[in-house]
Amino acid sequence: MDSLDDLIRNAGAAVYCLYASSENAAMRHMTRFVTHDPVTILKRPDNPPLMIVPLMEADRAQRESPAEILTRQQAGYLEIFEYEKDPWKIQAEMIRRLSEGPYLVPPDFPTALTRALEPYNTVIVDSSSGLSAHRAIKTPEEIGWITNAQRAAEAAMDRAVSMIRHADVKSGMLWYEDAPLTSDLVRYEMNKIMLAYDCTAQDTIVACGLETAMPHCTGSGVLKAHEPIVIDVFPCDNKTGYHADMTRTVSRGEPSGKVTELYETVRDALLMSENMVQEGASGAACYQAVRDFFAELGYQSDTEGFIHSLGHGVGLEIHEQPSLSGTGGDLRAGHVITLEPGLYYRDTGGVRIENLGVVEKTGFSRITNYPLEMVL
Amino acid sequence: MDSLDDLIRNAGAAVYCLYASSENAAMRHMTRFVTHDPVTILKRPDNPPLMIVPLMEADRAQRESPAEILTRQQAGYLEIFEYEKDPWKIQAEMIRRLSEGPYLVPPDFPTALTRALEPYNTVIVDSSSGLSAHRAIKTPEEIGWITNAQRAAEAAMDRAVSMIRHADVKSGMLWYEDAPLTSDLVRYEMNKIMLAYDCTAQDTIVACGLETAMPHCTGSGVLKAHEPIVIDVFPCDNKTGYHADMTRTVSRGEPSGKVTELYETVRDALLMSENMVQEGASGAACYQAVRDFFAELGYQSDTEGFIHSLGHGVGLEIHEQPSLSGTGGDLRAGHVITLEPGLYYRDTGGVRIENLGVVEKTGFSRITNYPLEMVL
């Protein structure tokens, strides 16, 4: 795996440029600095990254980031503003004063800034197998951060499972402490627990019945007995920005035979895929093997059935490299991935089970520590 | 104000293109669809936006977005993948099959996709005064969503103020229910309250003492009596994606005379700026007036003092147009803005007070409903 310095040299560039807030994973990875406004970052080979920040952020950036810090004023902002009012041309001129290029940029670099840099020198786009591939291989410290977030996810899952298990059933509906047990209430209780772990969870899924046929439907209304309930949670640790991701499908009381069959098939696909993962295995081949396994049992991967990929990398982004889909490349030791087979039918509902773990030289080291159990 | 259709026509383009997840405000504004993975959106004049989604999102997108929905398969993805493996070229070819261009794109459109589209037709970059300026003017419904988030912010602020007010003081440190009252604890309690309003708040600031000299320092450690405590909270409503933003500076017991002077000066600047805001007022002029007001009292706006802008628009982004800074343009009726003067000194600390409101034809209609009070 090439280092960032190698990427820059091999591209024939003088410097790697980012222009992004810390919601951008490459930016946060390179600077470990949290800001909601975009900043400019320049990385030269054999040098620490250089970050240009507004004056108001200078002291905090010095304290919180290992990057070298320049204020916009120090980078010439006010001087340039005297003759140039276009904000993108101002950014470009500040960059040019620090490096004459050529400039290597990520695929999602703003078009307006590329256009403003092009008159100075070549702007080379780093392919998606560049810096993101580098970031996909995690250090032990990063695996620790992801594991922390996963523990928050499991505590939240435990709360959801416990509420559903101990609910009363009245006319097929779940009741908890004398009120209907809704998707919103379970989600709220889960998010509260994750907050106690200093994790933020958005769009936590607690979907029931036919809603589960839509994999990312967050769910609404009162939960029902004997129906699949998909619980999918992906917290972000506020301190580090790293995510975890897990899904369980449960049912209060036995569901229909068809749902039970879906559950057992998806569970077997999960266990099978956990056994296929190791360094050098192809993401596309793992996906195809699960697709074939489903097909042999009569479950297609068409407009219903297995309608998404087998899994994805997890880190500063909830979905990042590598991909375990039809276009997935080879897995590498240190990749942190989810495996999440699922089957979805509009007239029955859906089942998805998702574990998180690390790709090792000889296998898959599961991070998720939570039982596989459908009927509560 | 031009509509999006006018922007497209005036640019000489056939279609406006977005490629973004719902973390991107333009994308969420145009589709009201929430997804963590980027999707392609095409807007032709006199047509609803067309959104190309992965198969797994198709049913949910039909249900949740007013956009017209195509699956990637329907847009030719699998067919193109037969001969083209570059993901950006695949996206570009899907777009070309739907519109031959010219293509109008936002400034932050991914460079890789621009480069893949350029061989087909001209790619025109919409200036920052284009679609974002259009989005800056809020409908009554959007103002309602922002107000909801602001009520969550106020409930959280109330909890923080109450904890600080009722804390015990031991050797200058605040204690609450027999434990030291930390920045982390106050933040946790505030975030929990906002969660009950179905709002997510990240990086809530509860900074004390010299930490307050760094405007965006989130704060750490035990809170102290007789020191400025800056509390800045900016929740996002999970249902709508709209934000609010408010700041108060408080002190448990009288702070130093210098801090009291800062407080009174900043409060006067806030009241003054609330009186300047109305349709047609210049953001830059409002900023400059506050800068001059501070300067007359001996407070400079240099590397210390008033080191940020006077305010900013609030909506799907926490910082969006308009800007009340040295480069700010004219305010328009329907802009929702914060006014947040502040003064910061490394040896004293900082004071910031921030109110949110709507620009009206004849003034500023404050949304914030929370007292101005420093000493608790």
B321-352 pLDDT, tens digit per residue, is 999 999 999 999 999 999 999 999 999 999 99
B118 and B177 fall within a common domain: no
Q: What is the pLDDT of residue A1?
A: 52
Whether A82 has its CB under 8 Å from any CB of chain B: the answer is: no
CA distance linking residue B339 with residue B353, whole number of Å: 8
Cβ of A327 within 8 Å of Cβ of B63? The answer is no
Q: What is the pLDDT of residue A84?
A: 95
Provide the chain A residues 97-156 that lie in CB contact (below 8 A) with chain B.
105, 107-115, 123, 125, 128
State the smallest CA–CA distance between residue A302 and chain B in angstroms. 9
Q: What is the pLDDT of residue B360?
A: 98
Separation in Å, CA A258 to CA A217, A227, A255, A301, A350: 21, 11, 8, 17, 10
Which CATH number is B234's domain given?
3.90.230.10
Mean pLDDT of the region B138-163: 98
A163-201 pLDDT, tens digit per residue, is 999 999 999 999 999 999 999 999 999 999 999 999 999
B145 and B119 fall within a common domain: no
B95-109 pLDDT, tens digit per residue, is 999 999 999 999 999
Give domain status of residue B98, yes or no: yes
Q: What is the pLDDT of residue B220?
A: 97
B65 and B30 fall within a common domain: yes
CA distance linking residue A334 with residue A1, whole number of Å: 12
Whether A263 has its CB under 8 Å from any CB of chain B: the answer is: no
- When CB atoms are compared, the residue of A36, A191, A319 closest to B195 is A191
Share of chain B above pLDDT 90, in %: 96
A255 and A318 fall within a common domain: yes
Strand order, beta sheet including A355-360: A320-324, A311-313, A336-339, A355-360, A363-366
Whether A189 has its CB under 8 Å from any CB of chain B: the answer is: no
Best mutation target among A34, A64, A77, A216 (most B Cβ atoms within 10 Å) is A216
A226 and A243 fall within a common domain: yes
Mean pLDDT of the region B214-238: 98
Give domain status of residue B91, yes or no: yes
Cβ of A59 within 8 Å of Cβ of B87? The answer is no
Cβ of A307 within 8 Å of Cβ of B215? The answer is no
B16 and B88 fall within a common domain: yes
Cβ of B36 within 8 Å of Cβ of A238? The answer is no
Give domain status of residue B375, yes or no: no
Q: What is the pLDDT of residue A302?
A: 86
Q: Which residues of B touch A105 (CB under 8 A)?
A: 111
* pLDDT, chain A, mean: 96
Residue A321: which domain range? 137-366
Spatial CB neighbours of B192, under 8 Å, sequence gap ≥ 6: A192, A195
CA angle B66, B67, B68 (to 5 degrees): 120
Whether B203 has its CB under 8 Å from any CB of chain A: the answer is: yes
Q: Which residues of A touch B318 (CB under 8 A)?
A: 36
Whether A192 has its CB under 8 Å from any CB of chain B: the answer is: yes
Cβ of A63 within 8 Å of Cβ of B216? The answer is no
Give domain status of residue A371, yes or no: no
B212 and B292 fall within a common domain: yes
CA distance linking residue B66 with residue B88, whole number of Å: 26
Give domain status of residue A114, yes or no: yes
DSSP collapsed to 3 states, B334-372: CEEEEECCEEEECCCEEEECEEEEEEECCEEEECCCCCC
State the smallest CA–CA distance between residue B45 and chain A in angstroms. 23
- When CB atoms are compared, the residue of B56, B123, B200 closest to A307 is B56
Whether B217 has its CB under 8 Å from any CB of chain A: the answer is: yes
Whether A213 has its CB under 8 Å from any CB of chain B: the answer is: yes
Interface A-B, measured as beta-carbon pairs within 8 A, has a size of 123
Instruction: Say whether pLDDT at B34 is over 80.
Output: yes
Mean pLDDT of the region B223-232: 98
Whether A159 has its CB under 8 Å from any CB of chain B: the answer is: no
Q: Using CA coordinates, name the residue in chain A closest to B24.
A: A23
B51 and B163 fall within a common domain: no
Q: What is the pLDDT of residue B197?
A: 97
CA distance linking residue A237 with residue A247, whole number of Å: 18
B267-292 pLDDT, tens digit per residue, is 999 999 999 999 999 999 999 999 99
B235-267 pLDDT, tens digit per residue, is 999 999 999 999 999 999 999 999 999 999 999
Spatial CB neighbours of B24, under 8 Å, sequence gap ≥ 6: B18, B108
- When CB atoms are compared, the residue of A56, A88, A111 closest to B308 is A56
A164 and A270 fall within a common domain: yes
Q: What is the pLDDT of residue B1?
A: 52
Residue A161, token pair as written in the block: 């499972």
Whether B189 has its CB under 8 Å from any CB of chain A: the answer is: no
B210 and B335 fall within a common domain: yes
- When CB atoms are compared, the residue of B88, B107, B203 closest to A111 is B107
CA distance linking residue A119 with residue A246, whole number of Å: 47
Q: Which residues of A touch B16 (CB under 8 A)?
A: none
CA distance linking residue A247 with residue A355, whole number of Å: 7
Cβ of A56 within 8 Å of Cβ of B215? The answer is yes
Cβ of B319 within 8 Å of Cβ of A57? The answer is no
B238 and B145 fall within a common domain: yes
Q: What is the pLDDT of residue A209?
A: 98
Give domain status of residue A376, yes or no: no
Instruction: Select from A80, A108, A135 the last residue of a domain.
Output: A135
Q: Which residues of B touch A85 (CB under 8 A)?
A: 327
Q: Out of A117-131, B153-167, B210-224, which region has the weakest mean confidence (pLDDT)?
A: A117-131
Q: What is the pLDDT of residue A2?
A: 63
Instruction: Say whether pLDDT at B301 is over 90.
Output: no
Mean pLDDT of the region B356-367: 98
Instruction: Select from A135, A155, A177 the last residue of a domain.
Output: A135
Annotate B342-362 with b (16+ C-beta within 10 A) or e (fewer).
bbbbeebbbbbbbbbbbbeee
Q: What is the pLDDT of residue B246?
A: 98
Instruction: Select from B88, B107, B135 the last residue of a domain.
Output: B135
Instruction: Say whether pLDDT at B366 is over 60.
Output: yes
A170 and A187 fall within a common domain: yes
Best mutation target among B216, B236, B304, B325 (most A Cβ atoms within 10 Å) is B216
Q: Using CA coordinates, name the residue in chain B closest to A64.
A: B217
Give domain status of residue A56, yes or no: yes
Q: Using CA coordinates, name the residue in chain A closest to B37.
A: A319
For residue B128, name the pLDDT band (cuts at 50, 70, 90). low
Give domain status of residue B371, yes or no: no
**ipTM over 0.85 threshold:** yes
Count of domains forming chain B: 2
Q: Which stretches of chain A score pLDDT less than 50?
A: none
Q: Which region, left, alpha or beta, applies to residue A148 given φ > 0 means left and ψ of -120 to 50 means alpha?
A: alpha
Provide the chain B residues 268-307 that lie in CB contact (below 8 A) with chain A.
303, 307
Which CATH number is B108's domain given?
3.40.350.10
